């Protein structure tokens, strides 16, 4: 690795806090090395306090691009020169490009495209489908808006009545105003409506934190009758690889039970392409980092 770094090497950054646990540096550096591209991808511990200086630093140092994670995904927008239409609607940016290091920073959100690419990779088409989803936080918003952009016919969002509910209302409004998708929001407390909605859907997406620590022993579906042989179940959680929901879906014969790993890899792959202009060797990365 060290031999590869020279005076010509270009930098790509990742700014977030906490960040040391992130898989992104390994994923991107392995892909860069595989393709022989002269970049290094490094993580920097950056929170709200340091964000403006960090963005100035990206411009000053000619950093070629950056991934952005919490707590900076929304705050960074004010410091950018341009934001993609999807990222604007989502209200969050996870990828910033600095073409040729000239200081013109453009923000994108690749979480939603990553989720759609992960579904496509499993031969699941979203176009013209009725989709039920739970969750309308950071991940849920990106997935919902991208799904609407990608042609979902009806998107029925269910969320508990917590601090994310208002954001869910906003997301539904934005989808209905800006796309042909018909979006609705229902309180998840209405379990009959939830089950009825899944019965009418071909895809169920769980974009909540349920299934991940400390909620690893919970699932939003516990009734076997909800799972059908023609239902695709997609959980955005990738740690653990098999959430309680996915285990339950498999046991009761769902058509597919897909975890969040593909979404993670493809959000990175889209960012990689935006940074370098080259396609990430996705199969190689999946095999190298995520084969079990």
Q: Which residues are catalytic?
A: 73
Instruction: Identify which of 80, 95, 68, 76 has the alpha carbon closest to the alpha carbon of residue 14.
Output: 68
Stretch in the footprint of ligand NAD (CB under 6 A) among 1-9, 38-46, 53-61, 159-167? 159-167
- What does the alpha-carbon distance between residue 249 and residue 247 come to, in Å, rounded to a whole number? 5
Q: Which residue has the tokens 């950071």?
A: 138
State phi, psi for 97 to the nearest 5 degrees.
-105, 150
Distance separating the N- and C-terminal Cα atoms of the chain: 25
- C-alpha angle 219-225-227 in degrees, rounded to nearest 5: 60
27 is an interface residue for ligand NAD by CB under 6 A: no
Residue closest to ligand NAD (Cβ): 137
237 is an interface residue for ligand NAD by CB under 6 A: yes
- C-alpha angle 24-249-154 in degrees, rounded to nearest 5: 80
25 is an interface residue for ligand NAD by CB under 6 A: no
- What does the alpha-carbon distance between residue 45 and residue 51 come to, in Å, rounded to a whole number? 10
Which residues ranging from 190 to 209 are in contact with ligand NAD (CB under 6 A)? 207-209
**H or E segment and range at residue 35:** helix 24-35
Cβ-count burial of 4 within 10 angstroms (0-12 exposed, 13-18 middle, 19+ buried)? middle
In terms of CB distance, is 11 or 257 closer to ligand NAD?
257
CB of 102 to ligand NAD, least distance (A): 30
- 175-182, long-range: CB within 8 Å, 24+ apart, which pairs? 175/144, 175/145, 175/148, 178/89, 178/148, 179/148, 179/149, 180/151, 181/147, 181/148, 181/151, 181/152, 181/153, 181/154, 181/155, 182/153, 182/154, 182/155
Stretch in the footprint of ligand NAD (CB under 6 A) among 16-24, 83-91, 245-253, 260-268? 260-268
Q: Which of 98, 110, 159, 202 binds ligand NAD (CB under 6 A)?
A: 159
CB of 262 to ligand NAD, least distance (A): 8
Which residues ranging from 77 to 136 are in contact with ligand NAD (CB under 6 A)? 111, 114, 135-136
Stretch in the footprint of ligand NAD (CB under 6 A) among 13-21, 75-83, 149-157, 210-218? 210-218
279 is an interface residue for ligand NAD by CB under 6 A: no
CB of 260 to ligand NAD, least distance (A): 3
Q: Which of 72, 129, 267, 270 binds ligand NAD (CB under 6 A)?
A: 267
238 is an interface residue for ligand NAD by CB under 6 A: yes
In terms of CB distance, is 63 or 109 closer to ligand NAD?
109
Question: In the numeric block, which tokens belong to residue 198?
Answer: 């899944």
CB of 43 to ligand NAD, least distance (A): 16
140 is an interface residue for ligand NAD by CB under 6 A: yes
Q: What is the radius of gyration, based on Cα positions, of the chain?
A: 19
CB of 33 to ligand NAD, least distance (A): 22
Count residues near ligand NAD (CB under 6 A).
27
Contact residues for ligand NAD, defined by CB under 6 A: 111, 114, 135-140, 159-160, 162, 164, 188, 207-210, 212, 215, 220, 236-238, 260, 263-264, 267
């Amino acid at each position: 690795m060290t031999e590869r770094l020279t005076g010509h090497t270009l930098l790509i950054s990742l700014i977030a806090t906490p960040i040391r646990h992130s898989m992104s540096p390994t994923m991107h550096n392995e892909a860069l090395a595989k393709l022989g591209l002269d970049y290094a991808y490094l993580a920097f511990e950056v929170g709200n306090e340091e964000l403006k200086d960090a963005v100035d630093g990206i411009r000053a140092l000619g950093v070629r691009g950056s991934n952005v994670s919490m707590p900076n995904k929304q705050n960074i927008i004010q410091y950018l020169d341009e934001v993609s239409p999807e990222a604007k609607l989502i209200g969050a940016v996870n990828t910033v490009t600095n073409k040729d290091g000239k200081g013109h920073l453009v923000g994108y959100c690749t979480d939603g495209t990553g989720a759609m690419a992960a579904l496509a990779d499993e031969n699941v088409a979203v176009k013209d489908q009725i989709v039920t989803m739970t969750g309308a936080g950071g991940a849920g918003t990106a997935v919902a808006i991208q799904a609407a952009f990608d042609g979902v016919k009806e998107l029925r969002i269910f969320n508990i009545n917590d601090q994310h509910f208002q954001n869910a209302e906003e997301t539904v409004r934005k989808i209905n105003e800006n796309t042909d998708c018909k979006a609705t929001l229902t309180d998840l407390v209405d379990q009959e409506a939830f089950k009825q909605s899944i019965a009418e859907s071909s895809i169920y997406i769980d974009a909540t934190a349920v299934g991940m620590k400390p909620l690893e022993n919970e699932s939003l579906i516990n009734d076997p009758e909800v799972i059908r042989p023609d239902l695709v179940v997609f959980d955005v959680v990738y740690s653990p690889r098999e959430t309680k929901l996915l285990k339950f879906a498999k046991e009761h014969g769902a058509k597919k039970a897909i975890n969040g790993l593909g979404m993670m890899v493809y959000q990175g792959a889209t960012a990689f392409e935006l940074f370098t202009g080259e396609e990430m060797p996705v199969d190689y990365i999946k095999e190298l980092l995520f084969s079990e």
